Chains A and B, each alone.
Chain A
């Protein structure tokens, strides 16, 4: 056994400085939500909307030109098909993977501008937690991609503990319910009972596009459309799956420890 201790010490520090510094995030080359420049759209073109597997993109054919393209990043599975089919370069691959928001409306890109700031009743209570947060995770029917990235949070590279954020086995000790998956018919009740077992104040985070809106699996005979209409959600983090750096950023944003990055479907910070 001593040789493991020696080995560990010898290895030194492996942890990323993210999000304090946006270097060595571990996500070199990892695609994020596509960026859109609707002013470059070709007239009458709706190729991106046709190509999207989750109806995240809508193109209104007539109306005023001002409001032609609307994107719901809460439905985006980062497949890049819109980028591939766009003939005008209006849809482009980006590395905007840190896409956590408090307000579902902030995942909507439209040309009408940024959604007005909404009051967050829970914000003050969150301050009471200072640096510590305990999370209960529930897999409500995910593909295991989100779990794989959540498990990675405790590897030495992300080392979630350094923020005072912990996963807890019992919902009784949990402040935040972190849900993945589109919510299958059989997981709806266990999910609701886990939420009810948590003491107030309690919050809910939807991780991954499935939990936010249903993703590619949503609907059908066995699935719901994520947490929509099931639990009140305080943090949304779309992605398929969101990478561990994105999950860290969203958790710290929820704790008011980093400023929100995304407003009105655009990265502003």
Chain B
């Protein structure tokens, strides 16, 4: 326990660097087996922007940050070396007004064409609560010369109850040549909403960044604040945090299987998957008062204690038995498997370069999981199985999630055995100018929160790296040069959310 506590209290290494040295530094890091995670900007003082690049030198090596101050408004792009950073740089351009020299896709990302802020929205001189002046303009598409190529813009209002995104297909007959997902219709400016909020309110905001990732978001936020404050969360709260995080994975993965069966037209399979999801959500409601596990987390622990011991174990065991029957049936239905196997293959190298995360990267052969590689909550003390597949197709993505359901239930049962009485909350007050980085392996993959505090102790900047931001970038690489009939199945096999990506 103490070793874990010390790790949580250690700040992360911050290394100053000159902007011009960044490309060479990133190249050296990648060559040495390291990996970049994200980049963001913030204002240490009004009028001075600082860039941060988060990475690690090896899989289980601690995260570190490079920090650099641009001279003027232009810095060299590192996207040609680490493609996954391309979207982060475009986001910084849109929201902070920095230009990245040599960027392979120097286009808007987060702000739509037609949004015309007089100053970038994150500039301290941007008037609070002034909505962006906006007149819709076409999104930039590749030029088409061949008259046989057709254009299908689908969305942002699409069929069924789904999130808003515009899917723009360029296709010939059944053959998709190119997919451009026009995201960020749902951009709410959530990161800026954190500024100046109290920690209690900021935690509620984090819960509402991505509804089906409420707990993981709030957990990563709280852990970032706890790191900034050097605060050690009591053991019972850490155990309960792991338990709740696994309950979140459980209902998400069950929804995933039901939705995947919907796309392969397996009606009873869809109904059963969604009924099992409903059962899992009802367990959440009974245990916490919220079907989305909201309203429990706070920096320093939990807002109140829970008593899962008398009933949760038996109820989960019943659910596990039903899931086992369901999954066996899915895995023995040829019409279902035929549509999944070889569909939407994500190659290992593409998964790495473009920054795939969570079950998506684990289905393409990466044995990575933040719960094991960078333990938080009580994961350092729990036996963790990390399922990995190498085929990289829709079936592998489903199989990884199926195996994770089993692992999650086993983890919860383990927590219920180990759970001891004790306090669930300690005071957590970050000092002025403190900063912290928190992370969680959400059901969809790696989630990071970087927090900065102002001189008066309020939040001055919160950066959110959601797993769907990573995986939406990867997804089109499996769609280009594929088949229209497989599209819905492939999309379902990624299990993406738009809210988490758009923020």
Contacts and interface: CB of A to CB of B under 8 A. Distances in A.
A16 to B, nearest CB: 10
A157 B254 CA distance: 15
A190 B193 CA distance: 24
A132 interface: no
A27 B285 contact: yes
Given A28-B282, A141-B185, A151 B295 contact: no
A145 B121 contact: no
A226 interface: no
Contacts of B277: 152, 155
B211 A169 contact: no
Contact of B189 (A3, A187, A215, A223): A223
B162 interface: yes
Nearest to B252: A148
Given A145-B212, A147-B162, A221-B131, A80 B278 contact: no
Contacts of A221: 117, 121, 126, 129-132, 189, 192
Interface residues of A, number: 70
B272 A187 contact: no
B209 A30 contact: no
Given A144-B211, A219-B129, A8 B268 contact: yes
A145 B185 contact: no
A163 interface: no
A82 B184 CA distance: 33
A14 B322 CA distance: 14
Contacts of B159: 169
Contacts of A53: 197, 200-201, 204-205
A242 to B, nearest CB: 10
Interface stretch (A40-48, A177-185, A250-258): A177-185
A151 B188 CA distance: 22
A143 B186 CA distance: 9
Contact of B214 (A141, A145, A171): A145
B188 A146 contact: no
B164 A51 contact: no
Interface string B180-215: 000011111110110001001100110011111010
A243 B278 CA distance: 11
Contacts of B193: 216-217, 219-220
B205 A216 contact: yes
Interface string B253-270: 001001000000011110
A92 B329 CA distance: 46
B164 A140 contact: yes
Contacts of A191: 157
Nearest to A181: B186
Interface string A237-269: 000110100000000000000000000000000
A29 B121 contact: no
B261 to A, nearest CB: 10
B14 interface: no
Nearest to A28: B286
Contacts of B278: 26, 152, 155, 157-158
A194 B157 contact: yes
A222 interface: yes
8 contacts: A4-B266, A5-B268, A8-B272, A11-B272, A142-B499, A144-B500, A152-B278, A221-B126
Given A151-B274, A220-B193, 19 more contacts: A1-B333, A1-B335, A3-B329, A8-B268, A51-B200, A137-B161, A141-B188, A142-B163, A142-B186, A142-B211, A144-B500, A152-B274, A169-B159, A182-B188, A184-B186, A186-B136, A194-B157, A216-B204, A222-B189
